A and B are shown apart, each in its own frame.
Chain A
Amino acid sequence: RKEVEQDPGPFNVPEGATVAFNCTYSNSASQSFFWYRQDCRKEPKLLMSVYSSGNEDGRFTAQLNRASQYISLLIRDSKLSDSATYLCVVNRAAGNKLTFGGGTRVLVKP
């Protein structure tokens, strides 16, 4: 079983719509959680950290459910430029040995 699991998608989203997707992690000792964005053939870039209380950054909302060991990302008012692969990333310890999920591909269409 993978340590971080994501639905690979693609999620086909009409422009302006809302899309949400989750990832699950298996290691209950995981301490830090992130969503990274990766455009085709580009490097991953940090989208947002995920905090226990949930957090919002503009049109993006992240939630963490430690009891069920999942993280969610919601994108409101989707833009064409939101088309990308969204990587769920977990950090088990105080260091930075990040564990990546396989990514969820989102395609926003006009």
Chain B
Amino acid sequence: EAGVTQFPSHSVIEKGQTVTLRCDPISGHDNLYWYRRVMGKEIKFLLHFVKESKQDESGMPNNRFLAERTGGTYSTLKVQPAELEDSGVYFCASSQGATGGREKLFFGSGTQLSVL
């Protein structure tokens, strides 16, 4: 069975450009999460989808970030316009269902974003 897949694995863009990251969760997983790790910091939550609905987007840093999950399958995270401080590794994760916060999250291998 395929795991969580993310595309691209690496992206190098210039400040002010737009980048779109994609995440395909494990088939059948209703819950999809975005996390990111910026240089020297710990991994931080960005947002949580349940199917196509945003359950919690409290971790989104600002309105330059837009996440979508149309149809409740794959998700995209767009950064427009990108700033230097957006550089880091963006992880997507998915889980099957909500069981009081103990279900196992499966992470993708991440997208390394470098903004120059």
Chain A residues close to B by CB (< 8 Å): 2, 4, 31-32, 42-46, 49, 87, 91, 93-103
Interface residues on chain B, number (Cβ under 8 Å) = 26
From B47, which residue of chain A is reached at the shortest CB distance? A97
- A45: chain B residues at CB < 8 Å are 107
- B102: chain A residues at CB < 8 Å are 32, 49, 91
- A32: chain B residues at CB < 8 Å are 100-102
From B104, which residue of chain A is reached at the shortest CB distance? A46
Q: Contact at B107–A43, with CB atoms within 8 Å?
A: yes
Q: Contact at B101–A91, with CB atoms within 8 Å?
A: yes
A45 vs chain B, min Cβ distance (A): 7
A71 vs chain B, min Cβ distance (A): 15
Q: How far is the CA of A95 from the CA of B105 in the complex (A)?
A: 12
Interface of B: prevailing SS: loop
Q: Which of B61-95 contact A (CB under 8 A)?
A: 91, 95
B7 at the interface (CB under 8 A from A): no
- B45: chain A residues at CB < 8 Å are 97-99
Q: How far is the CA of A95 from the CA of B35 in the complex (A)?
A: 15
Q: How far is the CA of A43 from the CA of B109 in the complex (A)?
A: 5
Q: How far is the CA of A55 from the CA of B103 in the complex (A)?
A: 17
Q: Contact at A103–B108, with CB atoms within 8 Å?
A: no
B59 at the interface (CB under 8 A from A): yes
A-B contact pairs, 22 of them (CB 8 A): A4-B42, A31-B100, A31-B101, A32-B100, A32-B102, A42-B109, A43-B107, A43-B108, A43-B110, A44-B107, A45-B107, A91-B101, A93-B101, A94-B101, A96-B31, A96-B33, A96-B98, A96-B103, A97-B56, A98-B35, A98-B105, A99-B45
